[in-house]
Amino acid sequence: MRRLFLLSVFTARVFADPGSAVCSPCHAEIVERFSRSRMARTAAAESPGNWSLGSGAIGKSYITFLDNFLVQSPRSYFTATRSYGLSPGFPNAQTFRPVEEPCLQCHASGVQLVKGTQNQYPNPPFTQPGVTCQRCHGPAAHHSVNPAKLPPERRDNVCEQCHLTGAAKVTRAGRNPYDYQPGDRLGDFVSIFVSGAQTNATGHAEQLAESACKQGAGDRLWCVTCHDPHGGRKTNTCQGCHTPDRCHRGPQCESCHMPKAASKDAHVAFTNHRIGRPAPPPRPLRLFWNAPIPPRDLALAQPSIPRLERVEPKDAAVLTQLGQLYDQAGRGADAVRVYREALRLNPAEPTAAANLAIYEAQRGETAAAEASWQDVFARYPGLPGPGLNLAASQLRRGDRPAAIATLRRLLRFHPGHAQAREILNRLTR
């Protein structure tokens, strides 16, 4: 699933988020209270060029610059065991993962992605660590949006921008998720598909939607019924709608109806928000919001050749995904055709360029192939395939120093890459 939205290159609308300070002359109490909340403290500068993500209630992950790329460290801190361990989702401790995943979209504000890339940032990469007032109230320059006064779908969207991932998240054609502002409809920027599995932190919105309580209460019940968005939780929230004689089992309603699960993964919801419902078996993907499913987005969320072939018009993301399926099916001529078309629409598309180069090399167009791998590897050192192909091509034409430099760079990002290490050892013995 990951590659689907990772490899669609978008440009960020950079607006320097001035942070909460600009609101303090008039809203000092809220600014002070919010500054102590987990959301405000969910990222912090540890040392120059080095930040932690997470308030530490559950744990912390670390990001730092490697060359000019922002990477996530393979080691995270886990508060429950007070120890360091492998970051969730990492295959081993010998890999730095370029921050291509939108960690910063949820953990920082005023993110300044370099135009036309999805993994290069200036230093510092964001103007404000953590969640700021503007993320829920809109840019300071405009009239502040009060989420509670928005129509229910747009109101809920404010929290869903960071508390809903679902089973697949697909950027809408021609859209950029960084452009969403409170008051907009989130579904105009991303299609979020759910399957009932609710396996991540962002399961809160999904679980709540599934609960018998939410289904009974409708739009009256939302996150802010129980949570103070400026920090802390409200008490006796159930009693606002249920009289105590509704259930005679005790006053601590949540302890039974919203049990906590023990989990080490920072991105698994702890408190079950499916009030009054047992866990369901997984179901086919459907859109989280009650809206028609865009066929393009479903085809990207659940890729298959027939589904992708039916999509019109085909953009670079659709064509690249289709090319990979043609590759797997051994349909080389079709793959070449759609990769070329993808690159015509988006010359910066890395997967199409790197895979097309494999076919070029097979046809003997080695110079063109090497130039493509060189270009993709320069922009995406986190993709080991283009790096290995580049080194092999450099070796074939006898340029040992270039191959050694390529492998050394690959190993900076993947210190544990056995194949690259082995070839480098042979070359430098």
d(CA 348, CA 375): 9
Give the range of 121-129, 186-194, 222-230, 410-418 binding ligand HEC by CB under 6 A: 222-230
22 binds ligand HEC (CB under 6 A): yes
38 binds ligand HEC (CB under 6 A): yes
173 binds ligand HEC (CB under 6 A): no
Token duo for residue 226: 């129980």
Q: Is 114 left (phi over 0), alpha (psi -120 to 50) or beta?
A: beta
Nearest to 325, CA basis, from 302, 307, 304: 304
Nearest to 134, CA basis, from 162, 112, 159, 109: 109
Give the footprint of ligand HEC on residues 359-388 (CB under 6 A).
Answer: none
- The correct pick among 6, 70, 167, 213 for binding ligand HEC (CB under 6 A) is 213
Q: How many residues form the binding site for ligand HEC (CB under 6 A)?
A: 93
In the three-class reduction of DSSP (H, G, I as helix; E, B as strand; rest coil), residue 320 is classed as helix
Whole-number minimum distance, CB 230 to ligand HEC, in Å?
Answer: 6
Token duo for residue 409: 């760079």
Nearest to 18, CA basis, from 138, 126, 127: 127
Closer residue to ligand HEC in complex, CB, 137/314? 137
Closer residue to ligand HEC in complex, CB, 71/423? 71
Whole-number minimum distance, CB 428 to ligand HEC, in Å?
Answer: 34
Q: Is the dihedral of CA 78, 84, 90, 96 positive or negative?
A: positive
d(CA 363, CA 355): 13
314 binds ligand HEC (CB under 6 A): no
Give the range of 38-46, 302-310, 344-352, 418-426 binding ligand HEC by CB under 6 A: 38-46
With beta carbons less than 8 A apart as the criterion, state whether 38 and 57 touch.
Answer: yes
Look at the block and give the residue holding tokens 């730095």. 96
- The correct pick among 3, 175, 242, 337 for binding ligand HEC (CB under 6 A) is 242
Give the range of 6-14, 16-24, 358-366, 403-411 binding ligand HEC by CB under 6 A: 16-24
Residue 398 class from Cβ within 10 Å (0-12 exposed, 13-18 middle, 19+ buried)? Answer: exposed
d(CA 205, CA 157): 10
Token duo for residue 252: 């601590």
Closer residue to ligand HEC in complex, CB, 265/422? 265
With beta carbons less than 8 A apart as the criterion, state whether 193 and 166 touch.
Answer: yes
- The correct pick among 251, 259, 282, 295 for binding ligand HEC (CB under 6 A) is 251
Give the range of 155-163, 282-290, 292-300, 326-334 binding ligand HEC by CB under 6 A: 155-163
Closer residue to ligand HEC in complex, CB, 224/392? 224
279 binds ligand HEC (CB under 6 A): no
295 binds ligand HEC (CB under 6 A): no
Give the footprint of ligand HEC on residues 123-142 (CB under 6 A).
Answer: 131, 133-137, 140
Nearest to 167, CA basis, from 208, 205, 199, 207: 199
- The correct pick among 250, 330, 364, 398 for binding ligand HEC (CB under 6 A) is 250
Whole-number minimum distance, CB 90 to ligand HEC, in Å?
Answer: 10
Beta-sheet strands, E only, within 179-329: 190-194, 286-287
Give the range of 211-219, 284-292, 323-331, 333-341 binding ligand HEC by CB under 6 A: 211-219
With beta carbons less than 8 A apart as the criterion, state whether 312 and 319 touch.
Answer: no
Q: Identify the helix (H) or strand (E) that includes residue 75.
A: strand 75-78
- The correct pick among 151, 152, 259, 276 for binding ligand HEC (CB under 6 A) is 276
- The correct pick among 238, 316, 317, 403 for binding ligand HEC (CB under 6 A) is 238
Give the range of 8-16, 31-39, 336-344, 353-361 binding ligand HEC by CB under 6 A: 31-39
Give the footprint of ligand HEC on residues 55-114 (CB under 6 A).
Answer: 55-61, 72, 101-103, 105-107
Length of the chain: 429
